[in-house]
Amino acid sequence: MTRLRRVVVFLIVYLGIWINLVEAQQSDEKVEILGGISDGTSPPPKPPKVLPDLPVVREISHIDTGRLIRMKRVEDPGYPEPEPKPMAQSENDEEAFWMSLSDERKAEIDAINNALVFSLSATVVDHRATRLHWRHNGKIYEAWSNVDFNHLTGFTRFKVDGRYYDPYFGIGNTSSEMEGVEKAPDFPTRQPTFILTRGDAGDTDALEGVEALHTLYRAERGRLKTAYEKREMTSLERQRYLEANPPKPRDVTIQFWKRELSDKSGKEEAP
């Protein structure tokens, strides 16, 4: 091996070690996804409601979009009146509640109330890069990201180093082979990053939300990607099932009754 080759090999090895160290340092950032990530799993079905067996005064039935709807007027079962809504707390009550909290809980509430809410428009190209558009203080910002923003869905809130973020973005997918679709630039690193193409790069407030999303992806890319792929698979399986087993309209039964309501003074009110 010539001396030049040894130097090249040394540089490649050194660069690989340096990249691994950078990734390890970035993974130490305190990142948390609040409420978990949806993987497309449906919640267990609610048990069907069983209507009470009450004497029927009158019944009317009709067919609507292939289902039978029964309207049953029944005798008043004499259920107790609903409890009145609690009165709004006074300022003194709110102050007393606030003073009863620990300093840690107060700090947590303040952090949630000061969460950064931001919106983006994301167009994913070839599932390899994403074109971003957003506004800040009336100014337009645009950027290219080397992250597939489909993976950054399935959750509503996350936290980076104690700061809460609530992202909202519309997302679409396209192909670079389509006419008029801009191709992504070459990125200087494989690490999740973005290249600002329009806007003030010195305005840290305008870039904070996008920076936080990339910090989140650096720490949780495995979970985010796996959850997205499972959501897509579940959606496809559900679509195939519905095509093979189209749902049938369910019959509906509605019970209602007439009752006399009384106020605290005992006066009868109109039904």
| Residue extents of the structural domains in the chain | 3-41+105-244
Average the pLDDT over 3-19 and give the result. Answer: 40
Phi/psi class of residue 119: alpha, beta or left (left: φ > 0; alpha: ψ in -120 to 50)?
beta
Residues counted in the chain: 271
pLDDT tens digits for range 91-100: 677 778 778 8
| pLDDT band (50, 70, 90) for residue 50 | confident
Measured CA to CA, the distance from residue 90 to residue 93 in angstroms comes to 5
Q: Is it the case that residue 193 has pLDDT exceeding 90? A: yes
**If residue 211 lies in a helix (H) or strand (E), which one and from where to where?**
helix 204-244
Tell me which of 48-52, 124-128, 167-171, 260-264 is least confident.
260-264
Write down the pLDDT at residue 2. 55
CA distance between the termini of the chain: 98
Write down the pLDDT at residue 210. 98
Considering the chain, what percentage of its residues have pLDDT values greater than 70?
84
Buried b (16+ CB within 10 A) or exposed e, 127-161: eebbbbbbebeeeebebbbbbbbbbbbbbeebbbe
Write down the pLDDT at residue 114. 85
Write down the pLDDT at residue 159. 95
Average the pLDDT over 157-176 and give the result. Answer: 95
Measured CA to CA, the distance from residue 94 to residue 70 in angstroms comes to 48
| pLDDT band (50, 70, 90) for residue 3 | low
